[in-house]
Amino acid sequence: MAARTVAVVLAGGLGERMGAGRPKQLIEVGGRPILAHAVAAFDAHPGIDEVLVVMAAGHLREAGVIAAPFRSVTGVVEGGATRTASTVAALRVLEQHPGDARVLFHDAARPFVEAPVIDRVLAALDGHDAVAVGVPSPDTIVVVEDGVVASMPPRETMSRFQTPQGFRLGTLRKAYELALADPALRATDDCGIVHRYLPDVPIRVVEGSERNLKVTQPLDAVVAEHLATEDPP
């Protein structure tokens, strides 16, 4: 199979912090589900050949209905108990793709990812096997241990990670092979897996966007509704 560019939209979570009684990616903002916004961003992007949706067990039918109008969606698959397990479920579906295929993992809970952010990830994958999206932190971030400040990294070196995170599929596969063989594996994001298990692979960080927020708790849903209905900048 020729190398394709696949976007995996991770919607396998249950949204416990949101407390909406159903996965937060099913909540509507601006008249359509958060998941639909996220899928639409990749479906509309000319650099993406295929979109795969990973959904929480018990909500596959709802995800199928939401995904149906999007031509580039090739599947809705059942996720796992952790984000890592949901990523592994996607990697299994992508087994037939060659190692040089590009794959972008995106949080379904980020409905407002914009085309320029996706552009930057794809462009950076020409020179790197792993790419993250970051934004500067307006707050000082410190390391706290046992309730006291252990260290204060300079604020200008700090970046808040967003998604999508992009990879050459072969590199991500190798990182996950090592991770899954490690009994001490703790849940982390996909760049975290590469950083830990393939420390020699540089992870390029490109600029994200403040609009690309992750809907996590009830206040975020209020902000998301506002962003969904305002005019684009």
Residue ranges binding ligand CTP (CB under 6 A): 10-17, 25, 54, 79-83, 86, 107-109, 214, 216
Could you tell which of ligand CTP, Mg ion, none binds residue 159, using a CB distance below 5 to 8 A set by kind?
none
Subset of residues 12 to 51 that bind Mg ion, contact rule: CB under 5 A? 13
Alpha helices, DSSP H only, in the chain? 34-43, 60-67, 83-93, 115-124, 169-180, 190-197, 218-229
Could you tell which of ligand CTP, Mg ion, none binds residue 5, using a CB distance below 5 to 8 A set by kind?
none
**Closest separation in Å from C-beta 151 to ligand CTP:** 26
| DSSP symbols for 94-114 | TTTS-TT-EEEEEETT-TT--
Give me the count of residues in the chain.
Answer: 233
**Closest separation in Å from C-beta 82 to ligand CTP:** 5
For residues 109 and 124, which CB has a smaller minimum distance to ligand CTP in the complex? 109
**Closest separation in Å from C-beta 138 to ligand CTP:** 20
Task: Give how many residues touch Mg ion by CB under 5 A.
Answer: 1
Task: Quote the CA–CA distance of 215 and 111 in Å, as a whole number.
Answer: 8
**Closest separation in Å from C-beta 86 to ligand CTP:** 3
Of 40, 89, 31, which is closest to residue 60 (Cα–Cα)? 89
CB 132 within 8 A of CB 165: yes
**Within a 10 A sphere around the Cβ of 23, how many other Cβ atoms?**
25
User: Which residue's Cβ lies closest to ligand CTP?
Assistant: 13
Binding site for Mg ion (CB under 5 A): 13
